[in-house]
Structure 1
Amino acid sequence: MVHLDRRAMLKALTATVATLAAGGITVRPATGVEAATASESWAMQTLLAFADTLIPGEHRFAGDVMVAGVVTGPGAVQAGVADVLTSPQLPLEPLLPSIAALLDARAVAYAAARLIWLSPLRPPFVSLSFAHRTALVEGLFGPEDVDRPVWQVLSLLVGLAFDTAGQYDTSQAVARKHPGLAWLGFPEPDADGLWRFADFSYGRPLAALHPDTTPSGSPA
């Protein structure tokens, strides 16, 4: 039986978010085959299905059951969420079986209450249809759910993987056509690798540039 240490889960999840925000890890974006291989463990199947429920994508290969394939285009799984969860530079990987077990336990309870048959050949959460996965996940974020902080931080990691490619160096992620950034239309940098934006949010600069501002943009 897996021991569910919720305090340790939340601590590791929060530390992972903080490290990504600080640009503390750099990994090579996984190929489609590598992403499929990463999903072979029982726990990772559950977690990838959770990520696909939040930011769904199309099937990666024939017979893909983790990714429900309810949309066209990439989702969190294609964007490399597995790289975030399993990075050896982060404290999260040892706790993945416990997090997945917690989610699968919720799936068993959800299915039992609705007389839904779950396949013994795959994790309980993965056995649910996308509609039922969505309904279950919506309940996880209810104010009465004791584990809501765990799901909130885990969902933040899913969003970071897709929306910001936070697990990768941004310039490299753009150059390699990171699925999330490409889908969102994230702009290419200038020739020197820096991003500059000629159009201001309000159509004009809010203040004149101080003459002593340094080349890096720091105040004098």
Structure 2
Amino acid sequence: MEPFALPHLEARTATLEAFADTIIPGEKRYPGDRAIAGVSEGGGAVTAGALAVLEMPESGMAPSLDDLASALDVHAEEYREEHDMGADDTAPAFVTLPYEDRAALVLELTRPGHPEKVLWTGLALLCNMAFDTAAHLHTAEALADGHVGLTALGYRPPDEDGVWRFPGFSYRRRLAELHPDTIPSGSLA
């Protein structure tokens, strides 16, 4: 067991949630929530399902999550040392950092030229996907359930038949005529 008395998977989850919350912050889920810093109102990447997206086989990250969480905590320990913050073994190292320090560390890890940039940028992009697209859910169901990211971005639900139609043109004019082989669903025959 880690010094902060969390089983391995809980420690990994806390670290990955803290990373996701650094990418798209949200509000704390409960008063003692340490993974979510609580610097924003409403739900962020964690509430949007970042862990579900990271753990999807399609993301390609699932086999690496244990190692990424451990590496992030090592980077956080080094960050604490470099900034004379002292040790804090009450939670995983990244989780113990204040939000501003989490953000500074993530910025360092994702800067051009950092040798691990591809890993951390990939992790950040997947956290964004959870919020921006609900990649782990069917869009109509996510909207019906009030998905925090899709709602915040102004996605509207499909028409009653489950198809999205956009009768108002964004440029206030039709840009092209429908292809003659377009069927009622909007696909080409």
Please, what TM-score do these two structures have when normalized by structure 2? 0.89
Does residue 98 (structure 1) correspond to residue 67 (structure 2)? The answer is yes
Report what 1:7 is aligned to: none
Report what 1:143 is aligned to: 112
Report what 2:52 is aligned to: 83
Does residue 119 (structure 1) correspond to residue 93 (structure 2)? The answer is no
- 1:154 corresponds to which of 123, 138, 144: 123
Q: SS at 2:47's partner residue? A: coil
What is the aligned residue count?
182
Report what 1:11 is aligned to: none
Q: Which has the higher contact order (CA 8 A, sep 6+)?
A: 1
- When residues 77 and 211 of structure 1 are mapped into structure 2, their CA distance, relative to the original with a 3 A threshold, is same
Answer whether contact 2:12 2:70 (CA < 8 A) is retained.
yes
Please, what TM-score do these two structures have when normalized by structure 1? 0.77
- How far apart are 1:89 and its partner, in Å? 7.2
Answer whether contact 1:107 1:124 (CA < 8 A) is retained.
yes
Does residue 54 (structure 1) correspond to residue 32 (structure 2)? The answer is no
Report what 1:212 is aligned to: 181
Cα displacement string for residues 14-51 of structure 1 (whole angstroms, at most 9, x for unaligned residues): xxxxxxxxxxxxxxxxxxxxxxxxx9611111111010
Report what 2:4 is aligned to: none
Answer whether contact 1:57 1:74 (CA < 8 A) is retained.
yes
Structural mapping, 1:138-217, within 5 Å: 138-217=107-186
Ranges in structure 1 where 5+ consecutive residues have no aligned partner: 1-38
Cα displacement string for residues 105-125 of structure 1 (whole angstroms, at most 9, x for unaligned residues): 111111111111232121111
- The alignment yields a C-alpha RMSD, in angstroms, of 1.9
Answer whether contact 1:118 1:127 (CA < 8 A) is retained.
no
Q: Distance in 2 between matches of 1:210 and 1:40?
A: 52
- How far apart are 1:87 and its partner, in Å? 4.1
Q: Distance in 2 between matches of 1:213 and 1:89?
A: 31
Letter in 2 for 1:59: K
Answer whether contact 1:44 1:96 (CA < 8 A) is retained.
no
Q: Distance in 2 between matches of 1:108 and 1:133?
A: 11
Cα displacement string for residues 160-179 of structure 1 (whole angstroms, at most 9, x for unaligned residues): 10011010011111111111
202-211 vs 83-92, greater mean Cα deviation: 83-92
Letter in 2 for 1:171: A
Percent of aligned pairs with the same amino acid: 46
Ranges in structure 2 where 5+ consecutive residues have no aligned partner: 1-7
